[in-house]
Structures are given as structure tokens and as C-alpha cells.
Chain A
Amino acid sequence: MRHKNHTPASRAAAPSVRWRGALRRHVAVLLLMKIAALALLWVLFFSPAHRAPVDGAAVSRHLLPAKEVLR
């Protein structure tokens, strides 16, 4: 009796486990692809080599070019 009750539950659980496993794989692959894409974007456009350092001194040179020369 116990065995009979358990069987349908096991049958229902099996596809669920397969489905969850597939989902985990898909999510993992997608996340890896996303991280790779973000890393590529960072290397191409946002890494320190691409940054234009702008601080108070740079703004001062930008807005007061002649004054900077005079100093």
C-alpha cells in the first residue's frame, strides 16, 4: 500500500528533477555568457586604459587654459 502510494509521487518527481537540472545548466551557461560579454565590454571600453581621468585639476585646466599657462 505504501509502495503503491509512493510510486506516483516518484513518477512526478523524476521529470521535475530533470527539469530543474536542465534549468540550472541553462542558467549557468547564460550567466557565463553574460559575464564573458560584460568582461569583453569592460576590456574594450571601460578598463583603466580607456578612462579619461577628470578631476578638479583637469577641469581647471579645461576651463582656465590660459590661466594655467600663465601660472
Chain B
Amino acid sequence: MIDLAVVHLSRMQFALTALYHFLFVPLTLGLSMILVIMEAVYVMTGREIWKRMTQFWGMLFGINFAMGVATGITMEFQFGTNWAYYSHYVGDVFGAPLAIEGLMAFFLESTFVGLFFFGWERLSKVGHLVVTALVALGSSLSALWILIANAWMQHPVGAQFNVETMRMELTSFAQVLLNPVAQAKFVHTVAAGYVVGSVFVLSISAWYLLRGRNVELARRSMAVAAGFGLACSLSVVVLGDESGYLAGENQKMKVAAIEAEWHTERAPAGFTVFGLPDDQAHVTRAELKVPWLLGLIATRSVNEPVLGIFDLVARARTRISSGIEAQAALGVLRAHPDDAAARALFEEHRADLGYGLLLLRYVADPARATPEQIEQAAWSTVPDVSVLFWCFRVMVGVGLTLIALFATAFYFSARHRFERHRWFLKAAFLSLPLPWIAAELGWVVAEYGRQPWAIDGVLPTFLGASPVPASRVLLSICGFAIFYSALAAVDVYLLTRMIRRGPDGLGYWPPAAATAAAH
């Protein structure tokens, strides 16, 4: 029988480590691109201050990069330690992008990070700029391969279940690579990373301006962050909308849960701006809707309905019944591989095998499932509506706030008025945690909204966990908590120490300080 304690603890561990890891990833993505912009200005103008800016922000990038690497490696090991069934079942597909990420993008990124720090006096101006650009490219390639793997979990394409090996096997790498969900996720995530980097630079620069320190450097940094951040925060909305549309195509239950839409909305469907979802009563109270908007986001039309949870549960019920047939035929095929009737029956119901497997949570033999158990399994396809509803709205609210912040910063930057508006500098400094909140909530929506599936429609999460004692998973969670808390303390100490010392204290700028530091 499946030990649900192991499943819950393994999920908790993965969520904790993934959310922690993603504190560093978007800043690496964002800062690497901002470094390219700053160094490009240095190469084009020859002004020393832009080189010093690149070096100062590059040092903060380096601290963050090291943390991202340390926390990312442990995640890949978890697939083997905590998710052994998952790894066997989909490893043939899922392993390829992870391996490519490790071999290509990660080594590319790490090599050029080394050249970035030690190549200032050894490479030409243009040569070093190319290195910095390759650091940014490597960061983005890392993200690309991880997101290809993640997108496959959301929308599994280019693979088929093999009865003999009892696992999903790759049929088209091109389909996995060009998965539209992967493309939308990649650009959305990378743009969000650029926003994180921009807010970081904007916020720290605002702190310097509030104290009247490093004014020349901070003013220029704010200008870069304002322009780049405004473009990227607007992009995040457009690219997020594309992700929403693809979810409407491929993960209708996730969209219905995000919208707390219990009943099918007739076309043109309205978007719920506010509401109070009740997961027990299956209703959403005090709804405030914007007409047509959901229809446009989820179907790109005004004449298509958006399916509600009740109708999607009814669909799941039908697919579970079909999945029972697939599971039964698979059992016969495992015992008698040459049974043509069983093979034909399996092929007929193959697409619904995953739905049949949902029943294993409630009954050992799905063929003997009662109507109540089938109903339970059908409703288990509904993720936690309240959590998704609120996480999504807070994420969007924070995103809109950041657009307003960058638009204001851009206006003040264009008019050279940063220092005159101390209220804005304070607001910019206080906004520092906002993009991280939005990014983390985005992942909660994406991954919590995928439940109960590890691979959407293919493998339920509870069947993916390793057959290990719960006490061992608990022990490793404690280990991660201690290790990651220590890392967090070191990271915060190093970053705050360097930021407090600043470009002047560290000898980056002004030139007199730099010369003194050199001596």
C-alpha cells in the first residue's frame, strides 16, 4: 500500500528546496543581463564609471550565483532519492533536458563566470563583454532546459508508454524541445528574472541615493534598471498571458481552479477580479467580474465557453472509467504479452491509463472500484482552489505594482529627478521583496495547480515517491532546513556587508578610492 506520509513529506521537501532555490535563480538571470547592458555602455563610451558599475554589481551577482548553484544541485538529486518511481517512469524523457542543462548550460555558465571575474585585466574590452554576454546566455540556457523539463510535466508531448519497460519513452525529442508550453514558460520566467534583477538594482541604488552615497553610480544604475525593468515588467504581462492561454488549452482544470469557476462560464466568459472561494461548498461568494476578459485570455475568443470544475470533474469521471480498462488490459499484457485482445483493449484506452491509476489511492484493484471511489478519484483532480485563486491574484497585483514603480522610475530618470523625490526612493527601496514574492507565487500557481499529477494526465504524484521510510525523508528535510538556514545567513551577511560598504568602501568608485584600494 502507498505510504502517503512519504508522499507528503517528499512533496514538502521538494517545494521547500525549489522555492528556496528560486530566490537566487531570477536574480542571477536578471543581474547577468543588466551586467551586459552596463558593460556594453562601457565598451561603447569608454567611460570608466560603467566598468566600475559592472564590477560592483558583478560582485553581488557572484555571491548570488554561488548560492544558486549550491541550492540547485541538491534538487536534481531528489529525483533519485525521493522520487524513484517517478524517475523510472519518466526518466527516459525527463532525464535528457536535465542532463543537457548540467553538461552544456551549467558548464558554459560556470566557465564564463570565472572569466568574468578574472578576465578584466587579461581580456580586451570587447572580449570581456562577450564573456559577460555568454554568462547571461548560459544562465538563460540553464533556465531553458529546466523549463523544457518542467513544461513536459505540464504538457507531456513526444513520449509514449512502453508496456514492456513500464515507463514513458521518448518518441520525438523535437516535440519535447518545441513544446509550446516550454517556450511560453521560458520567456515568461526569464522576463520575470529580469524584473527581479531590475528591482534589485533599483532598490539598492535608491538606498545609496537616500544616504547621498555613490550618487553618480547609483543614478546611472537606477536609469538602467528603470528602462530595462519597465520593458521587462510589461513583457511579463504579455508572456504570462500566453502561458494563461496555453493552460486554457492543455490544463483546463488549473485555469478553472485559478478562476474558482465551479460551473462552466458561458461565452464570453468573465474574469473574476475578487471573490471568496469555498472549497467545501463548491461555490465562490461575493464575485466581482470583468466581462469577456477570461474568454479572451483562455480561449482568445468571445464565443467559446470556459469549462467549470463540475464539468471537468465529469470528464475526469469518464476518463477514469476508461483508465480502469487500460489498467486491467495492462495487467493482462504483463502476464501474457502476446494476448492480442488485451493489446487492442490497451491501445484503445492507453490515453486514459493515468486516470485509472488515480484510483490506486483508494483501492488496490481499480477494476473493483465502487462508484463512490470513482467519484472520489474524479474530485481528486481538482487542485486547492482557494490557494490557487489567491496566489494568482497576489502575483498579478504585485506585477502591476512593479509596472507602476518602473514607469515612475523611468519618468524621473528621463527628467533627472531621482534625488528630488525622496518618497520615491523610499518606495523603490521598500519594493525590494516584491518581485520575489510574485516569482514564488507564480511557481506555486504552476506546480500546485498541476496537482494531483506529477505528469499531467499520465502519472499521479502519489505514485511517484520512493519506497523509503517516512522517518528518512523527515531526517533529510531537517538536514536541508539546517543547511539552507546556514546558507541563507551567510548569503544575507555577505550581500548586506558588500552593499553597506558600497562601491566607495570597496574601492570601485570614485577613481581616487579605486587607486587607493589598488595601492
User: In the complex, A18→B102 CA distance in Å?
Assistant: 37
Quick one: which of B87, B89, B165, B331 contacts A64, CB cutoff 8 A? B331
B206-219, CB under 8 A of A: which get 1 and which 0?
00000000000000
A71 within 8 A of B: yes
User: In the complex, A50→B164 CA distance in Å?
Assistant: 27
Verify A62–B167 contact, CB threshold 8 A.
Answer: no
Verify A52–B89 contact, CB threshold 8 A.
Answer: no
Chain B positions within 8 Å of A, measured between CB atoms, are 81, 84-85, 87-89, 164-167, 327-328, 330-332, 334-335, 357, 360, 364-368, 463, 466-468, 472, 476
Verify A52–B167 contact, CB threshold 8 A.
Answer: no
Q: Per DSSP, are chain B's interface residues mostly helix, strand or loop, or mixed?
A: helix
18 examples of A-B residue contacts, CB within 8 angstroms: A46-B81, A52-B466, A52-B468, A54-B85, A54-B88, A56-B166, A58-B88, A63-B327, A63-B360, A63-B463, A64-B334, A65-B360, A65-B364, A66-B366, A67-B330, A67-B331, A67-B334, A71-B335
A43-66, CB under 8 A of B: which get 1 and which 0?
001100010101110111011111
- Nearest residue, chain B, Cβ from A59: B166
Given contacts A45-B81, A54-B84, A56-B164, contact A63 B476 (CB under 8 A): no
A-B contact sample (11 more), CB < 8 A, given A64-B327, A65-B360: A55-B88, A63-B166, A63-B357, A63-B360, A64-B334, A66-B331, A67-B331, A67-B335, A67-B365, A69-B364, A70-B331
Given contacts A59-B89, A59-B167, A66-B367, contact A52 B467 (CB under 8 A): yes
Q: Per DSSP, are chain A's interface residues mostly helix, strand or loop, or mixed?
A: helix
Verify A52–B330 contact, CB threshold 8 A.
Answer: no
Chain A positions within 8 Å of B, measured between CB atoms, are 45-46, 50, 52, 54-56, 58-60, 62-67, 69-71
B87 to chain A: which residues have CB within 8 Å? 54
Verify A62–B365 contact, CB threshold 8 A.
Answer: no
Verify A52–B84 contact, CB threshold 8 A.
Answer: yes
A56 to chain B: which residues have CB within 8 Å? 88, 164-167
Verify A59–B88 contact, CB threshold 8 A.
Answer: yes
A65 to chain B: which residues have CB within 8 Å? 360, 364-365
A45 to chain B: which residues have CB within 8 Å? 81, 476
A59 to chain B: which residues have CB within 8 Å? 85, 88-89, 166-167
User: In the complex, A31→B463 CA distance in Å?
Assistant: 39
Verify B466–A54 contact, CB threshold 8 A.
Answer: yes
User: In the complex, A66→B334 CA distance in Å?
Assistant: 12
User: In the complex, A45→B84 CA distance in Å?
Assistant: 14
